[in-house]
Structure 1
Amino acid sequence: MITNKKPTKIIQDAVHGIVEVEGLLMRFIDTPEFQRLRRLNQVGVTRYVYPVCTHTRFEHSLGTYHLTKRLLDAIQADLSNEVIRLTEGECTSLMLAALCHDLGKHEEISCRIIQRIVNKDEHLRTLLNDAGVDLDLVYALIRGHATPELKIISNSLNGNDVDKWDYIMRDSFHAGLGQGSCVIELERLLRFYRPAYHASDDSWHMSFRVSELENVMRVFTQRLRLRSSVYAHKTTLAIEAMFIDIFNALDPVLHLRDLSLRAATGDNSALDAFLRMDEHCIWGIASCYSIWPFKILPDMAENLRRSACLCERIQTRQLYSIVGCFYAVREIDVVNAQEPLEVDCEALTARKIVLMATLYDADKGQKNAIQREILGTESEILEEIFAKLPHNSPVRSVRELRLVSDLQSSNSTDDPPTFFVYRTLADTFSITQPLTKVCCFLLLWSGPFQDDEDGPPLHTPSPVPPCLTEALEAWRREKVEATALRWGKLTSKL
């Protein structure tokens, strides 16, 4: 157990209830860098579809810290596991990494922001040193480079970590898709998730008790539900495409991409500017063309006018029209999805083996999916579809088409996930799952562009022209047929 009760501040959280934060960590929270997270939405533009999804990365960071603290308390208090005992400094390092893991969204920027906070506060440096905090360990944890037994915040081996527990519970709560034990049996996860030794690779791994298999699988089924119903909702993707167009219009003016890259690679002035940017700031710049207080160069004026028009369209619900979708899979992902389940059959009941296999079945779109290798770039795909339109089509230019993609995966890992399980802490085994990945592409029509300021005002795009729907379907049929031979050859080898 984490000993030496320290003064704490009480924060009431909508998902976890009371969250206690130690004074040392409050010094990080009470900084402009951390408070900026209040102005960054946790689920992006989803709030335009699910109105209550207005929670921010601030709450998620507190929640991830809280779950890390509770899990560490449970591990340290477990008398049956005396081999691994973390020091107070290691525990505080883990909690600090959990609290600050999302400061910059990108891991490198998060680490640089922590360095910035520490470097400008001499007293904080003294407190960290007195508490035995290892900042190198904090950075390794955020980057996902921790040793297996410390993969609590980010687990690249199987995706089962406190970061995921919090955002799944939090996003489900705000989207109205369940709360508490209806989503995840959190109390059981905290009680039965422990570091255990596995002789198969002579390493310690965070492992769950065999009785918790269904509970762990619920984490991933709920993640898939959130992705299909919330994150990749068709209207969410259409609005995301409009925000990407806003970003592209602003980038030549604000150089946002270059700013982010320089902030991640050590440019302190770029990091200063990056930390002044948030969703409120970007929206204000994008939408205020008509009241812009400074002199605007002609080339900048066009970009700002276009971004302001798109902001107005979003607010008046004049969204891009959804034409249709198609699915694509890479050959390697088809092979991975067909891999047999590697499992200790003596350790699990037949019912649980079936559960492990069926939860990772291919997405419904994979059956008629296109082989990703035969597709070109996004611009090439759009050109091919546009070429199938008749000359009198209402779609005047390929610039009116957008293609957005969403990778639907059975896990957040890059490779087939390996879960580590124990009957007792001295009796362990592992399960390697097949990994299913299907990419959904959504074709959108923006409607005619307004290319000059004196042109007709933007309005809701007309219903999708039938010829555009037909062009997409004709293109898709060609690609499915072209895939058939490759697909047949592949499946015959499996």
Structure 2
Amino acid sequence: MDLWKYREWTVDQTCQYLEEQGLGEWQAKFRENNISGVTLQYLTEQHLKDMDIRQIGDSLKILDSIRKLWQITGQGKVFNDPIHGHIELHPLLIKIIDTPQFQRLRNIKQLGGAYFVYPGASHNRFEHSLGVAYLAGELVDALSRRQPELQISPSDILCVQFAGLCHDLGHGPFSHLFDGKFIPKARPGVNWKHEDATVKMLDHLVERNNLREAMEQYGLELPRDLDFIKEMIHPKALTKETPWPHKGRGQEKSFLYEIVSNSTNGIDVDKFDYFARDSHHLGIQNNFDHRRFLKFARVCEVDGEKQKHICSRDKEEWNLIDMFNTRTGLHRRAYQHTVTKIIEIMISDAFLKADQFMKLSTAIDDMEAYTKLTDHVFEQILNSSSADLAEARQILRNITCRRLYKCLGQTQANEPMEVTQEMIQSWETELAQADPPHSFHDVSLQSQDFIVNVIELDYGMKEKDPIDNVRFYCKNDLTKAYQIRKDQVSKLLPEHFAEQLIRVYCKKRDKKSLEAAGKHFVKWCMDRNFSKPQDGDIIAPELTPLKPNWLNSSDKDGEHGSCKDVKPGKVNGPTKAKTKLFK
């Protein structure tokens, strides 16, 4: 129920507003006289007397509440969005959008380096934020209409939309590249994430643009509602034993913290929008239907828990499984694409070279400076003539001319590891020191020629099955939530929900260095007892047979020959090796 749309209120919604204003005793009079939103604006003191509300104090309270509605009535805006169609946003949200701090999101690519791989991925954090604000409003409004007993107030709805709109304010240039790759190397002692910057930027936006008065004018209570908005953007993870940590709303409204950023099971409107939007721009099929989720979402109490949770119909488990599969698919095919990661590593390298002169990493301490830091820094470096930026400029020129670092391959450890920056540096040294037989003695490889990139892939909840944390209800009992176990759904679901990939790149690009680096990589995998790279038999056919557990099953059985029969000199020559890659 939006206050700024009070003219569209029904009689029931008008009475709900009276209740929220502490005037619930007059609901019966308003119902009896059929006072709806459209007639509310014409109500006078004489009309109140005619309705038998004769005490002057009572009349003045009612009229004052009506005047508040007149004051906050403003013009919202309609945006034509390629994903959600025509979306209308609250006037307060428009005031936020029309600030320099929010407008900077127009200049931050949603998918960072993926734009250099997928030409359609030119969308930005600005349009994504509008989409999240819209979906947040749709979900909370649907819950309010479906379950009036939840007592979701207009200020609750506005706060949820506000949080959806501002949830990505803290992203730096090229989105996750900035806080995931650049800052950890530029400032290794600082534990900083874009969520931290979002909260600081939101405070800066409100103060810099004098929005406190407007927020109060539109019915928000400060500082409580501003705390609530920030808590929804970055909610704390909860367990059954955890005392309620939030100040903005009590436990009876715990479900509101699951709309924008859901720390319980990862099902939230942020993902709904970026799955649909990213898939659209990447040209990848999105199998998850967020509109069905909105249709069937309900708030239920879960046995043994003090908090209420947003639950879905039992028949929707496959739609949610499709959602988690979509997430993993987007990571494999786009976000963690081999070339995407190479380009992001190169951009990060360029930023690190430029940091001592441009002070990029110090901007996170000053939101005024951070407001001016966007993807445009790429062009600033690329087009500069400063000698100080020569190294950084050359790296970016190599990107634009497609002279990229080369991927040597991908491997996996037997068990996932806690990988630190020190461990990665140690691995790069080991790669340079690996001494494979038949190595190129006239090629010199140093640790700085290698880059190790560790990729974590999961379904959104690390190694856990995310469906374990989802609760469902059935049509026969809309109030009772229960768990659906994996074995109740299908035997085709995965046994593992996370994996760790180790990719190795080489900065050198000449053929001889790359051949040598490839053999170093295969030998390093053998020494580390990692899995055999997919094309290991092609890169180093003289090495892979030396590792017994790397042999293909046909090699072990003596069928179709073996890599031992392959002569290294003939691999890329006229007589090509017949290597069985798949069983």
TM range (shorter): 0.7 to 0.9
Does structure 2 retain, via aligned residues, the 8 Å contact 1:68–1:162? Answer: yes
> Structure 1 residue 388 and structure 2 residue 434: aligned?
yes
Say whether residues 1:114 and 2:202 are aligned partners: yes
> In 2, Cα distance between the equivalents of 1:232 and 1:171?
14
Residues 109 and 476 (structure 1), Cα distance of their counterparts in 2 relative to 1, 3 Å cut: same
Aligned to 2:425: 379
Write the mapping of 1:315-394 to structure 2, written as runs, cut at 5 A.
315-328=400-413, 369=414, 371-372=416-417, 377-389=423-435, 390=439, 392=441, 394=443
Matched residues in 2 for 1:109 and 1:382: separation? 32
Supply the distance in 2 between the matched residues of 1:224 and 1:137 (Cα, whole angstroms): 31
Q: Once the two structures are superposed, what CA deviation does each residue of 1:14-58 show, in whole Å capped at 9, x if it has no partner?
A: 111111111111000001110000000000010111001000000
Q: What residue is the counterpart of 1:90 in the other structure?
A: 156
Q: Is the 8 A contact 1:2 1:88 kept in 2?
A: yes
Partner of 1:344: none
Structure 1 residue 402 displacement after superposition: 1.0
CA drift of 1:326 comes to: 1.1
Structure 2 Cα separation of the partners of residues 305 and 372 of structure 1: 37
TM-score, normalised via structure 2 length: 0.66
Q: What is the deviation of 1:111?
A: 1.7
Q: Does 1:314 align with 2:421?
A: no
Give the match for residue 469 of structure 1: 518
Matched residue, 1:135: 226
Aligned to 1:357: none
What CA distance in whole angstroms lies between the structure 1 residues aligned with 2:134 and 2:156?
16
Q: How does 1:191-230 map to 2 (within 5 A)?
A: 191-230=295-334
Q: Can you list the C-alpha shifts for 1:140-196, whole angstroms capped at 9, x where unaligned?
A: 111123664111000111100000110011100001012xxx532222111111221
> SS of the counterpart of 1:465?
helix
Are residues 112 and 435 of structure 1, via their aligned partners in 2, closer, same or farther at CA, if it must alter by over 3 Å? Answer: farther
Deviation at 1:73, TM superposition (A): 1.8
Contact 1:419 1:432 in 2 (8 A): no
Would you say 1:20 and 2:107 are equivalent positions? no
Q: Does 1:444 align with 2:548?
A: no
* Cα distance between partner residues in 1 of 2:332 and 2:95: 38
Instruction: Tell me the secondary structure at the aligned position of residue 150 of structure 2.
Output: coil
Q: Which residue of 2 aligns with 1:273?
A: 369
Structure 1 counterpart of 2:109: 41
The answer to whether 1:173 aligns with 2:280 is yes
**After superposition, where does 1:414-433 map in structure 2 within 5 Å?**
417=466, 418-423=469-474, 424-431=477-484
Gapped runs of 5+ residues in structure 1? 263-269, 329-368, 448-459, 485-494
State the 1:420 CA deviation: 1.6
Larger RCO (CA within 8 A; separation ≥ 6): 1
Total equivalences in the alignment: 407
SS at match of 1:372: coil
Q: Deviations over 1:261-285 (max 9, x none)?
A: x2xxxxxxx21111111111x1133
For the 8 Å contact 1:403–1:442, the answer to whether it is kept is: yes
Q: Is the contact between residue 106 and residue 126 of structure 2 (CA under 8 Å) also seen in structure 1?
A: yes
Larger Cα-atom Rg? 2
Contact 1:53 1:171 in 2 (8 A): yes
Normalized per residue, which structure has more strand? 1
- Name the SS of the counterpart of 2:232 in structure 1: helix
Matches of 1:20 and 1:174, distance apart in 2: 22
Where 1:157 maps in the other structure, the secondary structure is: coil
8 Å Cα contact 2:416/2:500 also seen in 1: no
Q: Is the 8 A contact 1:370 1:480 kept in 2?
A: no
Q: Is contact 2:111–2:335 with CA below 8 Å preserved after alignment?
A: yes
| Farther-moved stretch of structure 1 (460-469 vs 130-139) | 460-469
- What SS class does the counterpart of residue 442 from structure 1 fall into? strand
How far off its partner does 1:409 sit?
A: 0.9
Task: Indicate conservation of the 8 Å contact 1:61/1:101, yes or no.
Answer: yes
Q: Which residue of 2 aligns with 1:343?
A: none
Give 1:94 deviation, angstroms.
0.7
Please tell me whether the aligned partners of residues 93 and 162 of structure 2 are also in contact (alpha carbons under 8 angstroms).
yes
Matched, 1:236 2:340: yes
Question: Normalised by the size of structure 1, how large is the TM-score?
Answer: 0.77
1:344-402: CA deviation from partner (whole Å, max 9, x where unpaired): xxxxxxxxxxxxxxxxxxxxxxxxx4552699701111111111144725343221111
Q: Which runs of 5+ in 2 are unaligned?
A: 6-72, 172-193, 237-245, 487-494, 533-546, 548-583
The question of whether the paired residues in 2 share the 8 Å contact of 1:326 and 1:440 is answered with yes
Question: Would you say 1:149 and 2:289 are equivalent positions?
Answer: no
- Give the deviation of 1:310 after TM superposition: 0.7
Contact residue 321 and residue 463 of structure 1 kept, 8 A: no
Distance 2:418 2:393 in 1: 38
